[in-house]
Amino acid sequence: MKFDLHCHSHFSDGALTPTELIALAVERGVTHLALTDHDTLAGLPELRAASEQSAVQIINGVELSCEWRHQLLHVLGLNVDPDNDLLRAGIRRNTEQRFARAEAMYREFERQDINLRAEVAAQLPPDSVPTRPHFAQALVNLGVVKNKNKAFKKFLVRGKPGFVPMVWPDIAEVSEWIQAAGGVAVLAHPLRYKFTRSKLVRLIKDMLAVGIEGMEVSTGNTDTQQCEMLAILAQRHGLLASMGSDFHTPNQPWAALGTAAPLAQSLTPVWSRF
């Protein structure tokens, strides 16, 4: 079996449709796939329909934004019931925040005589929420900057003219949404936050206190030493271990679908709870 429990489609900030994701999963030998778009479940019906013609097993997923001690975190909800009322209400709350931020960003750019609405909308399915990567690509398309990295550095990070801060729900609320939907809550890409080891341990203790039971141990760009360090933390604190590429686009080989290293046999995999 080959698991990839963290990837994105064009319903959030990924490049591929769910149908294209299934085709790529088949090509890469992925047997179990979770689509974890940011604060939306909109891609799941298409993903399930496309998977019917393949042997790929689908796990319902979502990646939810939240805060812990004023720090933005991403928590995966795996094996969730997409029809659960509390989860859907929470996602709707985050989605409304995202739409409000996007509108504020449009206005910030328009004050600089840069109109991004049409270029951003062209990248998205109907009613999907624009994210900062969509704004970055729009800036590239209009020739304002040469590439997306420059777009972020010049416009889309804190202190720059196109950045609009967000207020996210607390980590305990997000965990409650996932648990209500019968899912398993998993901390996504724990090394991305650049915490010290002691701060990461504090986070793990706070996570466990609110019912977040898992942590990604293997991702598309964690090396062997990093995986071993995260595995030790997972074992020491009784966390379920998850793995996923965090795939967004074929143009990022460091996060290619299905490339997360297998979990050590000493770990308890998150799918043991599905």
User: Could you tell me if 84 and 109 lie in one domain?
Assistant: no
3-state secondary structure (DSSP) of residue 234: helix
Do residues 237 and 204 make contact, with C-beta atoms less than 8 angstroms apart?
A: yes
User: Could you tell me if 150 and 117 lie in one domain?
Assistant: yes
Cβ neighbours for 225, distance < 8 A, ≥ 6 positions apart: none
Host domain of residue 230: 3-91+170-273
Q: Which residue has the tokens 């360090």?
A: 229
Helix (H), strand (E) at residue 34 = strand 32-35
Domain boundary among 128, 156, 184: 156
C-alpha to C-alpha distance for 272 and 15, rounded to whole angstroms: 30
C-alpha to C-alpha distance for 41 and 237, rounded to whole angstroms: 30
| pTM for this prediction | 0.93
pLDDT at res. 193: 96
pLDDT at res. 129: 86
pLDDT at res. 128: 85
pLDDT at res. 13: 93
pLDDT at res. 146: 96
Helix (H), strand (E) at residue 233 = helix 224-237
pLDDT at res. 119: 96
Residue 140 sits in a domain whose CATH number is 1.10.150
Do residues 187 and 72 make contact, with C-beta atoms less than 8 angstroms apart?
A: no
* Amino acid (1-letter code) at residue 173: E
Q: In Å, how far from its chain's centre is CA 122?
A: 22
E-strand ranges in 69-146 read 71-78
For the chain, give the number of residues: 274
C-alpha to C-alpha distance for 105 and 116, rounded to whole angstroms: 9
Q: Does 258 fall in a domain?
A: yes
- Tokens representing residue 141 in the block: 């398309």
C-alpha to C-alpha distance for 124 and 72, rounded to whole angstroms: 24
User: Could you tell me if 76 and 198 lie in one domain?
Assistant: yes
E-strand ranges in 79-190 read 184-187
pLDDT at res. 126: 82
Helix (H), strand (E) at residue 88 = helix 85-111
Compute mean pLDDT per 10 residues along the chain, 274 residues long, and list them: 97 95 98 97 97 96 97 97 98 94 96 96 88 95 96 95 93 98 98 96 98 97 95 98 97 94 96 96
User: Could you tell me if 64 and 194 lie in one domain?
Assistant: yes
Count of structural domains within the chain: 2
- Tokens representing residue 131 in the block: 């994210």
